[in-house]
Amino acid sequence: MKKVLCYTLFLTVFTVLGCSQQSKNSNDVEKKINSLLSQMTLDEKIGQMNQLTDVGINDDVKAQIKNGSVGSFLNTMSPEQINEMQKIAVEESRLGIPLVFARDIIHGFKTIFPVPLGQAASFNPEVGYNGARVAAVEASSVGIRWTFTPMMDISRDARWGRIAESCGEDPVLTAKMVVAMIRGFQGENLADPTSIAACAKHFAGYGAAESGKDYNTTWIPEELLRDVYLVPFEAAAKAGCATFMCSFNDINGVPSSGNRHLNVDILRNEWGYDGVLVSDWGSAQQMIPHGFSEDLKQAAEQAANAGMDMDMMGFAYINHLKELVNEGVVSEKTIDSAVRNILRLKYRLGLFDKPYVEIKDSTVFYAKESLEKAKQAAVESAVLLKNENNVLPLANLKSVAVIGALADAPADQVGTWCFDAEPSHSVTPIAAITEAYGKDVKINYVQTLKYSRDKNKSDFPKALAAARNSDAVLYFVGEEAILSGEAKCLADISLQGAQSELLTELKKSGKPVVLVVMAGRPLTIEKEAKEADAILYAFHGGTMAGAALADLIFGKAVPSGKLPVTMPKMVGQIPIYYNHKNTGRPTGKGATLIDEIPVGAGQFSIGSTSYHLDAGSEPLYPFGYGLSYTTFEYSDVQLSDTVISLNGKITAKCTIKNTGKYDACEVVQFYMRDLVGELIRPVKELKDFQKILIKAGESREVEFTLTTDDLAYWHSDMKKRADKGKFYLWIAPSSDLGKAVEFKLK
Ligand code: GLC
């Protein structure tokens, strides 16, 4: 007993000391900030608020650094150049304030992980953590200490190219993934030389761009903004994300760079955020074409008074803030607050103590364990959508045809936003399959189409012959990397070029065809889904995509991915997402489709519910869906109570049995529904998930807990609270499966 007491006492003292040490450190930093601020001229303060892209070191850049008119650079990639620029800032400028160097490292610096949409399909935050940690170690080794990642825009629209950078349509999945990425980038201590500041972007509502066109206007009622779009950002702020970035779009007519309600009322005052808020590239200046600012001077005034700390490549602050302060239009207090946030970032990064990057002779790029983590991420990011007659995993083959543009596309398989990737390091599917199985299996490789938009069918006969001469066909389709990402939006998201026709051709062989899709978004593959015997949706899987796919296809790994975003049958269904409202006329399974309508049918003879005649109301594949090589059986859900009181909680248990012959991971999903609300509520909301390994024939019990906070939502009086009344909950393998269990909040 005595020992326990001593240990508890030690823990308590240690914790108190630890916290007090932390608060002592932060008090020390604030003292240093205030002391430095008191020495700074207005010009020097405004200089810290100015961020420029790298243009190399010329006399003009040297002068800007020396006179303190720039606080940060992005896209400087050479450690030697970074140190040379830093030396001028630290040793030649009047106050020696170090620069902070930034870069977009969205899903890898050199070792590329799957695009974030793919990482989200893993439903495994550790995948997000690993990708960020590997990227932080690689990027910090060249002197980059700030990345503009993770992007956490909720997206319900696959026409939007940036869905590739997102974690999909769900706020809870996105929040869990991005908090893990933030931890990966920032490490345990931001001052560690391998830690880099993360950036919660794009704040906010960017994914709601009308018609899926990038930069387009959004209309988001505040209740929806808070219930859906802000959820990951609040989680990021609470997780200590070092910076935030304004989004390009307007919300209800107010561009984010000038949105005081968003950037001050919510980010600063409600969430208590003390990090840096940086513009997106020129987003302050773009308030002029938005029609929100008359000129660059007004843009500077609006952005500064809306709490934007740093102006990335907008030249608004550096050209107009001094004048605005002298005119009393922007207070020096506002300037000081922004500069405090910037200095705080630099102190937290340890740049005042260690401003220079250590030039290492051996790079940390492509370390063995990094590549292994990237491969594991790609394995977990692939979603098995179809597996007719258990075609997969392939076994006992004498020959296999490998076909398609993405079978050997080292630059495309890494996906969008990979400026620093080296395609020569990509392991492509054909390379991996040849290396791993080429000795035992005859590989008949006919690329046939050279890239995803290729319409040249001249090699179709060769492809068909290869398929006929093989036991099975692996057909790699998808998108070139350039067809997703920023400003890469599509009105038609079906397979590009002649890819779809080639599938129909390959089917003539009568051999099983496995369709492997490598893309940055959900594509509309309803026709292909009927033709293919199996479908593995791998997104753009990164450097090790080919190695991961080889393992999955031949059974060395078992698919565990689940869709992080709904896959529509056709683009006309968009926006289509699982957590939709029920409407007053929901459609059951029995909607009459266009081909079933009798000629001359009367106006109301086929029912009047909410669906498209030519598509129905269901997607091709729903959020949370994904198959395995094994099967899982879910027991009935057991509740701790069927009635809970306000501030109470309820636990739900379920036993999942692996009823197949492969050990495999299952993503067990926990959904709820508020049946009657002051505002109508979604038919389902993901509240949690667990990814668990269950050995063949074995069972595992999972438990989830719901508190009344989980049941709460934003009401029209802008208060977040739960409604009393009836709720459902599900523990299920997908958003469209499972048996509802009822409970009441009294
Ligand atoms: C881009 C993107 C943003 C990126 C920034 C810096 O336009 O919108 O996500 O971080 O500019 O490259």
458 Cβ contact partners less than 8 Å away, ≥ 6 residues apart: none
What is the C-alpha to C-alpha distance for residues 614 and 572, in angstroms, rounded to an integer?
10
pTM, entire model: 0.97
Q: Is the CB of 104 under 6 A from ligand 1?
A: yes
Minimum-distance ligand 1 atom for the alpha carbon of 312: 6
Q: pLDDT tens digits for 372-401?
A: 999 999 999 999 999 999 999 999 999 999
Q: Is the CB of 146 under 6 A from ligand 1?
A: no
253 Cβ contact partners less than 8 Å away, ≥ 6 residues apart: none
User: Residue 8: which pLDDT band, with cuts at 50, 70 and 90?
Assistant: low
Q: Is the CB of 417 under 6 A from ligand 1?
A: no
Mutate to test the pocket of ligand 1, among 280, 286, 310 (most ligand atoms within 8 A of CB): 280
**Hey, where are the domains in the chain?**
42-348, 376-553, 580-618, 632-745
What is the C-alpha to C-alpha distance for residues 240 and 273, in angstroms, rounded to an integer?
8
Q: Are strands 638-639 and 664-674 parallel, antiparallel or unpaired?
A: unpaired
CB atoms under 10 Å from CB of 111, counted, come to 29
Query: Which class in CATH covers the domain with range 632-745?
Result: mainly beta
Exposure string over 26-56, b if 16+ CB within 10 A, otherwise e: eeebeeebeebbeebeeebbbbbbbbbebee
Beta strands in 404-537 (DSSP E): 442-446, 472-478, 513-518, 534-537
Minimum-distance ligand 1 atom for the alpha carbon of 248: 8
Q: Mean pLDDT across the stretch 160-188?
A: 98
Q: Is the CB of 471 under 6 A from ligand 1?
A: no
Q: pLDDT tens digits for 638-664?
A: 999 999 998 899 999 999 999 999 999
Q: Is the CB of 281 under 6 A from ligand 1?
A: yes
Closest CA to 68 of 38, 89, 91, 86: 89
The encoded tokens of residue 133 equal 């940690």
Residue by residue, what is the 3-state secondary structure of 82-143? HHHHHHHHHHHCCCCCCCEEEECCCCCCCCCCCCHHHHHHCCCHHHHHHHHHHHHHHHHCCC
What fold characterizes domain 42-348?
A: TIM Barrel (3.20.20)
- pLDDT of 714 strictly over 90: yes
Q: State residue 361's pLDDT score.
A: 77
Tell me the C-alpha to C-alpha distance, in Å, between residue 464 and each of 455, 457, 532.
16, 11, 15
CB contact at 8 A, 613 and 594: yes
Q: pLDDT tens digits for 268-327?
A: 999 999 999 999 999 999 999 999 999 999 999 999 999 999 999 999 999 999 999 999
Q: pLDDT tens digits for 132-152?
A: 999 999 999 999 999 999 999
Residue type, 605: S
What is the C-alpha to C-alpha distance for residues 178 and 202, in angstroms, rounded to an integer?
13
Does 604 or 370 have the greater pLDDT score?
370
690 by Cβ neighbours in 10 Å (0-12 / 13-18 / 19+) ranks as middle
Q: Is the CB of 103 under 6 A from ligand 1?
A: no
Q: State residue 18's pLDDT score.
A: 57
CB atoms under 10 Å from CB of 395, counted, come to 8
- pLDDT of 637 strictly over 70: yes
CB contact at 8 A, 493 and 584: no
Residue nearest to atom 1 of ligand 1 (CA): 281
In degrees, rounded to 5, the angle at the alpha carbon of residue 579 between the alpha carbons of residues 531 and 227 is: 145
User: DSSP label at 627?
Assistant: B
What is the C-alpha to C-alpha distance for residues 492 and 506, in angstroms, rounded to an integer?
24
Q: Mean pLDDT across the stretch 684-708?
A: 98
Q: pLDDT tens digits for 226-257?
A: 999 999 999 999 999 999 999 999 999 999 99
Q: Is the CB of 674 under 6 A from ligand 1?
A: no
Minimum-distance ligand 1 atom for the alpha carbon of 165: 9
Measure CA 474 to chain center: 29
Q: Is the CB of 153 under 6 A from ligand 1?
A: no
- pLDDT of 411 strictly over 70: yes
Distance 671 CA to ligand 1 centre (A): 34
- pLDDT of 362 strictly over 90: no
Residue nearest to atom 12 of ligand 1 (CA): 104
Q: Is the CB of 486 under 6 A from ligand 1?
A: yes
How far does the chain reach from its first CA to its final CA, in angstroms? 43
Minimum-distance ligand 1 atom for the alpha carbon of 149: 10
Q: State residue 607's pLDDT score.
A: 81
Residue type, 647: N
Distance 417 CA to ligand 1 centre (A): 10
> What element of type H or E holds 224?
helix 222-224
φ/ψ (deg, to 5) at 457? -95, 15
Q: Mean pLDDT across the stretch 329-339?
A: 98
Query: Which class in CATH covers the domain with range 376-553?
Result: alpha beta
Sequence-separated contacts (24+) of 434-443 with Cβ below 8 Å: 436/550, 436/551, 436/554, 437/400, 437/550, 437/554, 441/397, 441/398, 441/399, 441/400, 442/398, 442/399, 442/400, 442/470, 443/399, 443/400, 443/402
User: Residue 1: which pLDDT band, with cuts at 50, 70 and 90?
Assistant: very low
Residue nearest to atom 11 of ligand 1 (CA): 281
> What element of type H or E holds 15?
helix 2-39
What's the Rg (C-alpha) of the chain?
A: 27
Q: State residue 737's pLDDT score.
A: 98
Q: State residue 12's pLDDT score.
A: 55
Q: State residue 698's pLDDT score.
A: 98
**Helices 499-507 & 460-468 angle (0-180, nearest 10):** 40
- pLDDT of 3 strictly over 70: no
Residue nearest to atom 6 of ligand 1 (CA): 281
Q: State residue 20's pLDDT score.
A: 67
CB contact at 8 A, 665 and 634: no
| Same CATH fold assignment for domains 376-553 and 632-745 | no
The encoded tokens of residue 101 equal 């160097």
Tell me the C-alpha to C-alpha distance, in Å, between residue 224 and each of 67, 159, 205, 418.
46, 21, 10, 32
Residue nearest to atom 7 of ligand 1 (CA): 281
CB atoms under 10 Å from CB of 634, counted, come to 19
Q: Is the CB of 201 under 6 A from ligand 1?
A: yes
Distance 555 CA to ligand 1 centre (A): 39
Q: Please tell me which residue in 280, 311, 533, 710 is annotated as part of the active site.
A: 280
Minimum-distance ligand 1 atom for the alpha carbon of 199: 10
Helix residue ranges, H only, 585-654: none
- Where do we find the tokens 């491969």? 375
Q: pLDDT tens digits for 599-608?
A: 999 998 888 9
Is 274 assigned a catalytic role? no
What is the C-alpha to C-alpha distance for residues 312 and 349, in angstroms, rounded to an integer?
20
Helix residue ranges, H only, 382-459: 429-437
Distance 201 CA to ligand 1 centre (A): 9
Residue type, 377: A
Distance 280 CA to ligand 1 centre (A): 6
Distance 409 CA to ligand 1 centre (A): 25
Distance 282 CA to ligand 1 centre (A): 9
Q: State residue 4's pLDDT score.
A: 47
Measure CA 371 to chain center: 20
Distance 413 CA to ligand 1 centre (A): 21
Q: Mean pLDDT across the stretch 37-61?
A: 98
